[in-house]
C-alpha cells in the first residue's frame, strides 16, 4: 500500500476540542487536509476551529455527545451527506471513569463503553462507504496504554480500549482488499485533560481518588503535539500499530514477556516514577 497522501483530502477527527484531537487537527491542517471536527464541547471546539481557519484551512464543526447513539447517528449522517468521500477518519474521542468494578454502577460502566467503543463502531460503520469511495483512504482508532495492559481501577476504560484494539485489528484484515489502511494507536502518558475530566464512580472515596489522580497526572509527560506527530507519521507510513512513548512501549513489552505477572512490575515502576519530579517532552519532530 502506498504512503498516505494528506493533501487535498477530507479528514474527520472526533474529540477535536483539545488534547490529542486538537493537535491532530493542527497537524492535518499543516499537511493540507480539509477538516471535519467533532466534539461535545462547543466553546472549545469553536476555539480550535477558529485558530485553524485563520490559516486558510477549510474547517467544519459538529457538536455532539457521543454517549447518545441517536445523536451520533444523526451527526454521522450529516457528515456523510456533506462529504461522500472521506480520506481519513480518526476516532479519537474518549472518556474515563475512576473506580474499581465494584465501585461503579452499570450505567457508569456503560457510559464509558458507549463513548469509547460503541461510538467508534457506529461512526466507522456509517462513514465506511465514504472511506471506500475515496482511493487511498485510511482509518485510525485511538486505543490506549490501557488497551495493552489493564491495571486495577480501570475495568471500564480498559474493557473499552481492548475492544477498540480488537475491532481495529479485525478491520485491518477486512479492509485491505478495499485499499483502506487501518491504524490502531496506543498512547502512553499524554498530557491531556482526560484524567482531570474523568468521572468518579458512585462508590469511590473522593479523597482517595484525588490522591491517585494527582500521582497519575505526574506520569503524563508527553505533549499532545508530540503524540500527534508520531501518530501522523505512522499514518503516512500506513503503520498498523502505533505506540506513543516509552510509557506505552515498555508496558507492551512486559505484557508480552509476562502476560499474567507484569502488573506488579508496572505498579512498582509507576510508584517510583510518580515520586520523581515531572519531566516534559514538548518538541515534536519534523512533520512527515
Spatial separation of the C-alpha atoms in residues 154 and 115, rounded to whole Å: 15
Q: What DSSP designation does 222 have?
A: B
Residues 6+ apart with CB under 8 A from 162: 143, 147, 150
Instruction: Answer yes or no: 157 catalytic.
Output: yes
Q: What whole-number distance in Å separates Cα of residue 274 and Cα of residue 282? A: 19
Per 3-state DSSP, what percentage of the chain is helix, strand, and coil (rounded to 5)? 50, 15, 35
Kindly provide the b/e burial profile for residues 125-158, where b requires at least 16 CB atoms within 10 angstroms of the residue's own CB: ebbbebbeebebbbbbbbbbbbbbbbbebbbbbb
Residue 275, CA distances (Å) to 10, 157, 249, 268 in order? 44, 25, 21, 11
Write down the catalytic residue from 117, 146, 157, 162: 157
Q: Widest CA span of the chain, in angstroms? A: 52
| b/e sequence 243-270, b meaning 16+ C-beta within 10 Å | bbbebbebbbebbeeeeeebbeebeeeb
Give catalytic residues, as residue numbers: 157
Amino acid at each position: 500500500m502506498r504512503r498516505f497522501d494528506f493533501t487535498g483530502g477530507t479528514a474527520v477527527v472526533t474529540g477535536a476540542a483539545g488534547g490529542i484531537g486538537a493537535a491532530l487537527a493542527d497537524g492535518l491542517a499543516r499537511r493540507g487536509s480539509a477538516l471535519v471536527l467533532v466534539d461535545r464541547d462547543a466553546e472549545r471546539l469553536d476555539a480550535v476551529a477558529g485558530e485553524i481557519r485563520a490559516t486558510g484551512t477549510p474547517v467544519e464543526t459538529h457538536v455532539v455527545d457521543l454517549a447518545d447513539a441517536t445523536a451520533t447517528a444523526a451527526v454521522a449522517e450529516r457528515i456523510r451527506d456533506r462529504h461522500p468521500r472521506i480520506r481519513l477518519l480518526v476516532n479519537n474521542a474518549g472518556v474515563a471513569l475512576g473506580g474499581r468494578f465494584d465501585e461503579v454502577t452499570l450505567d457508569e460502566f456503560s457510559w464509558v463503553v458507549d463513548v469509547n467503543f460503541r461510538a467508534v463502531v457506529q461512526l466507522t460503520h456509517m462513514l465506511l462507504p465514504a472511506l471506500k469511495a475515496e482511493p487511498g483512504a485510511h482509518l485510525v482508532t485511538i486505543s490506549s496504554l490501557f488497551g495493552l495492559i489493564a491495571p486495577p481501577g480501570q475495568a471500564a476504560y480498559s474493557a473499552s480500549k481492548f475492544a477498540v484494539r480488537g475491532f481495529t485489528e479485525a478491520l485491518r484484515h477486512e479492509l485491505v482488499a478495499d485499499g483502506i489502511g487501518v491504524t490502531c494507536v496506543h498512547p502512553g502518558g499524554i498530557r491531556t485533560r482526560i484524567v482531570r475530566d474523568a468521572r468518579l464512580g458512585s462508590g469511590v472515596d473522593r479523597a482517595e481518588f484525588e490522591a491517585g489522580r494527582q500521582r497519575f497526572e505526574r506520569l503524563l509527560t508527553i505533549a499532545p503535539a508530540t503524540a500527534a506527530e508520531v501518530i501522523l507519521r505512522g499514518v503516512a507510513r500506513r503503520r498498523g500499530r502505533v505506540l506513543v512513548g516509552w510509557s506505552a512501549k515498555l508496558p507492551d513489552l512486559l505484557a508480552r514477556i509476562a502476560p499474567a505477572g507484569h502488573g506488579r512490575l508496572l505498579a512498582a515502576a509507576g510508584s517510583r516514577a510518580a515520586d520523581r519530579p515531572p519531566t516534559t517532552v514538548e518538541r515534536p519532530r519534523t512533520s512527515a
